Structure 1
């Protein structure tokens, strides 16, 4: 494949290919996703656990969550994946057509590994075949394939019914627990507020009650404290950790770190190295 980065999108059906190039980043997942790993490896992290998906595997990713990802092509090969996004509009249409409703059962799982079977494999193969033509430019065909995907999900894992057809916004959850898990995601306060089931004003008010400081101040101090630990205790370097800790760029991270600790992150490593040498 000549292009180093190809991303072909047909409405809610996305085929991605990264030519011999690993990628890392983070994202907010607004819609449920059925993902098929064609080649290479994908690793997702929700702040607590990592979920690896290898060649030929399927997984279901629940909406309204923050994830970090890393995508790795095989040796001398290309990273390729297929993603089917199920929007709330699509699922509400399906719910009306098939009279399927959620029983509003509590569910704490966010990422599901699906057992590969001939039906899921045939479904993925059909979408890969269609991408070579213009058939998925047809909105009716897209709707048919999305509904087919929902039916297969319900057959593969019936428990997904209570997740797929839960159309409620996030409910109000424990703020302290959520923020301690997700502080390293670089998202706007509005997103944190929504995911904790609060308006922005309520989020800020509740936050100061819990932590005693503003959200922006707490986030920066929390990230810098973790950075200091990783650099001083674990020997990490700034360029390897600043993105993982929610900083947008290296220069901003270095400036904030030096302002907080009186020394640049690179100098902190030097001090640590010197102390090790002197002890020897």
Structure 2
């Protein structure tokens, strides 16, 4: 594989990464079952950090905001495999096996699953498919997705309340949500969706609360947080820009200097 590469067959993805580290933002639109083959994955949902080491299983819930940091082992490769359980697949499963849609469940964005022989055997059965190319044997892939749900229910029966919760985000407190999640670098439509609003309603409600457009507020709030981390916590700009929701270091440095009259590297 190249320095950073992900291969996908249907909803099963193999990630392989060679460089020192890789960070990024992620909106999680569907449930994901993952296994860490090698290296370490650090996940942060804005409330807590999750450390996923070699040999660990995790389940990431849909409609969540999560930051990630992939760390390959020394002189090795970061490798993981992820199974995306989309709503269509889960609805069909619920009809076939008689599972009713559960009430909405909150809780942690990431569940750390206990290692189990069934889970391990399932992951082992997927390894040969990383050599396939779509649309080879699509029906077999669909069977493997169904098997993933069956294995999850066998090893973690309580997960039926998560897997078969088909509700969409309801209208929530916009101000509280934005103050908690401004540092996630996602599009406004994602913030709108997660607060239970259309994009137009989100913008209208936002300006009623903050008396400023969402884009301008996000820039100001991220810059304030970055300035605090650099000045008061002694962090480097190269650490801070991703942590506070900026896409790249050059854009962050330009915006910071424009706002404070000094480059972030020169803050006393």
Q: Is this a same-fold pair by TM over 0.5?
A: yes
- Please name the residue that 1:240 is paired with: 239
Written as runs of structure 1 = structure 2, the 5 A alignment for 1:67-86 is 67-86=66-85
Written as runs of structure 1 = structure 2, the 5 A alignment for 1:211-250 is 211-250=210-249
Q: Report the alpha carbon displacement of residue 178 of structure 1 after superposing the two structures with TM.
A: 1.2
Distance 2:169 2:241 in 1: 29
Distance 1:180 1:83 in 2: 31
**Bigger mean CA offset, 16-25 vs 85-94:** 16-25
**8 Å CA contact retained: 1:31, 1:63:** yes
- Please name the residue that 2:140 is paired with: 141
**Bigger mean CA offset, 109-118 vs 246-255:** 246-255
**8 Å CA contact retained: 1:243, 1:249:** yes
Distance 2:222 2:134 in 1: 47
- Please name the residue that 1:188 is paired with: 187
TM-score normalised by L of structure 1: 0.90
**8 Å CA contact retained: 1:17, 1:80:** yes
**Bigger mean CA offset, 139-148 vs 21-30:** 21-30
**8 Å CA contact retained: 2:9, 2:132:** no
Unpaired segments ≥5 residues, structure 1: 273-280
**8 Å CA contact retained: 2:29, 2:63:** yes
1:208/1:134 CA distance change after superposition, 3 Å: closer
- Please name the residue that 1:90 is paired with: 89
Q: For the pair shown, which has the larger CA radius of gyration, 1 or 2?
A: 1
- The structure, 1 or 2, with the larger RCO (C-alpha pairs under 8 Å, 6+ apart) is 2
Distance 1:213 1:252 in 2: 21
* Structure 2 residue 151 is the aligned partner of structure 1 residue 155: no
CA-based RMSD: 1.8
Distance 2:105 2:40 in 1: 31
Distance 2:214 2:19 in 1: 40
1:239/1:108 CA distance change after superposition, 3 Å: same
Q: Report the alpha carbon displacement of residue 159 of structure 1 after superposing the two structures with TM.
A: 2.1
- Please name the residue that 1:255 is paired with: 254
- Please name the residue that 1:122 is paired with: 121
Distance 1:143 1:218 in 2: 44
Q: Secondary structure at the match of 1:163?
A: helix
**8 Å CA contact retained: 2:102, 2:162:** no
- Please name the residue that 1:277 is paired with: none
1:227/1:133 CA distance change after superposition, 3 Å: closer
1:123/1:23 CA distance change after superposition, 3 Å: same
Q: Secondary structure at the match of 2:158?
A: helix
**8 Å CA contact retained: 1:7, 1:17:** yes
Q: Secondary structure at the match of 1:243?
A: helix
Q: Report the alpha carbon displacement of residue 134 of structure 1 after superposing the two structures with TM.
A: 6.5
Q: Report the alpha carbon displacement of residue 165 of structure 1 after superposing the two structures with TM.
A: 1.4
Q: Report the alpha carbon displacement of residue 105 of structure 1 after superposing the two structures with TM.
A: 4.4
Unpaired segments ≥5 residues, structure 2: none
Distance 2:206 2:194 in 1: 14
- Please name the residue that 2:21 is paired with: 22
Q: Secondary structure at the match of 1:69?
A: strand
Distance 1:243 1:48 in 2: 16
Q: Aligned residue pairs: how many? A: 268
